[in-house]
Amino acid sequence: MTRTTENPWLARFALATAFASLVLICVGGLVTSHDAGMAVPDWPTSYGHSMFALPFQFWRGGAFFEHTHRLWASLVGLLVVALTRWLNGRAARRPLAIIGLMEVLAGFVIFFLWPNLKATGHFLTGIGGVVLLAAWVWAQNEPAERPLPQLGWLAFALVQFQGLLGGLRVVLFKDQIGIFHAALAQLFFVLLCVIALFTTQWWRKLKRLFPPRPVPRFDGFRAGSEIGAPKLRGLFLAATALIFLQLIVGATMRHQHAGLAIPDFPTAYGRLWPATDADSIARYNQERVEATGVNPITAFQIVLQMVHRVIAGAIVCLAALGAWLTRGQLRWQNPLSKISLAWFGLIMFQTILGAATIWTGKSANMATAHVACGAVSLMTGAMLILLSLRGLVPVERQARAAGEKTKPSEFAAEPAVVHDVRCRL
């Protein structure tokens, strides 16, 4: 029997699920950019109708973006449930049946005992029914290799938690929930991309060529230290962490409902750092003209946008340094060098989109493209971290560490050379 991980359709389905998650982030960005988060005031129903049977006369203005977001989120939830079932094989049937039954029962209990939380009851009952269906309708395939089954369960839990957070944002009308919802969406997208990467034939080939075994010593030094691997990994990790922090700051800015707190770039109210005293804030509120946002700005919002700009500069510097060091140590033939250079280009494009968002008066489409590019940048950073952990040392350096001679090559070296040297980042 063919192993689940070797099924090419699993990799395609995982990639499609990750892409659907990226589209969901874009639709969510449109909801926030159009200030349409409360355009549909009830949940999980929509204007009192079933979410999946809303009459078309309600699909107008902000309700179009909000309701589309709900429907696409439901699709992503279905895809993740199916992906979890596929990754875990026949072993997932009983856990899914138990979880689905518990969710349905919990939904009924909440609906009857706590009428004020009946929306949550409806949500649990609906998702529980989908999980029960997934437990019984599927082929008897074998589980995938570790850690894919565990990652599948994590995605299964996160997609349900994300759905609940999105609903509570509407019911409780709390911007803080919206910020957490947006940040978690980024991590969820990265998780699905990691699952998609692990299901590819390319990653399995990499695992065979660079098995995770202890690095041997040659003449009293570790071969991996020759290319400064810990520094590269630390650099990728620091830049990726800064990108995630930047996304949280950006989500906080979008949920402030005050439009552009600083309307010019690269200056800030004509200065390198704007004044934030009470008189200056009053003058800003009197003079500024915005396309969106009716609330007055505050000193906190101005400082938050300046922090956003400072972090953006730090990310650009780290990405440029990472591309330069990786190229110098691994050469352009190495996949890590190519991806790090593409990462730097992506972050530069993200910077341009951020500036264009300001220059266009916070255009909804431009702001959404900025959000989407940020998500892809975070995902690329995570991929670089994983690749550096796996280790892509050029073959000629492996051979030099072992006292051999070989021709320059990419990571796809002869297995005999790789297994003899055991060098990795």
Say yes or no to pLDDT of 27 above 90: yes
Other beta carbons within 10 Å of 49: 12
8-state DSSP, 274: -
Say yes or no to pLDDT of 14 above 80: yes
Average pLDDT over residues 401-413: 43
Residue 218 φ/ψ region, left for φ over 0, alpha for ψ in the -120 to 50 degree band, beta for the rest? beta
Q: Can you give the pLDDT at residue 338?
A: 87
The more confidently predicted of residues 245 and 176 is: 245
Q: Can you give the pLDDT at residue 294?
A: 56
In the beta sheet, which residues pair with residue 46? Answer: 49
pLDDT in tens, 132-185: 888 887 767 788 888 899 999 999 999 999 988 888 888 787 778 888 999 999
Average pLDDT of the chain to the nearest whole number: 81
CA distance 271 to 284: 13
Spatial contact of 88 and 134, defined as CB atoms under 8 Å apart: no
pLDDT in tens, 77-106: 999 999 999 998 888 888 999 999 998 998
Spatial contact of 373 and 349, defined as CB atoms under 8 Å apart: yes
pLDDT in tens, 42-73: 888 888 887 888 888 888 888 899 889 999 99
Average pLDDT over residues 329-339: 79
Q: Which pTM does this prediction carry?
A: 0.83
| Residue that is written with structure tokens 């020759």 in the block | 226
Q: Taking each helix axis from N to C terminus, what angle separates 93-113 and 118-136, rounded to the nearest 10 degrees?
A: 160
Q: Name the range with the highest mean pLDDT among 5-14, 187-196, 215-224, 410-419.
A: 187-196
Q: What percent of the chain has pLDDT over 90?
A: 37
Q: Can you give the pLDDT at residue 221?
A: 28
Q: Can you give the pLDDT at residue 315?
A: 96
Q: What sections of 210-331 are H helices per DSSP? A: 229-254, 278-287, 299-330
Q: Can you give the pLDDT at residue 111?
A: 81
CA 332 to chain CA centroid, nearest Å? 27
The more confidently predicted of residues 330 and 233 is: 233
Average pLDDT over residues 109-115: 83
Q: Can you give the pLDDT at residue 122?
A: 80
Say yes or no to pLDDT of 286 above 70: yes
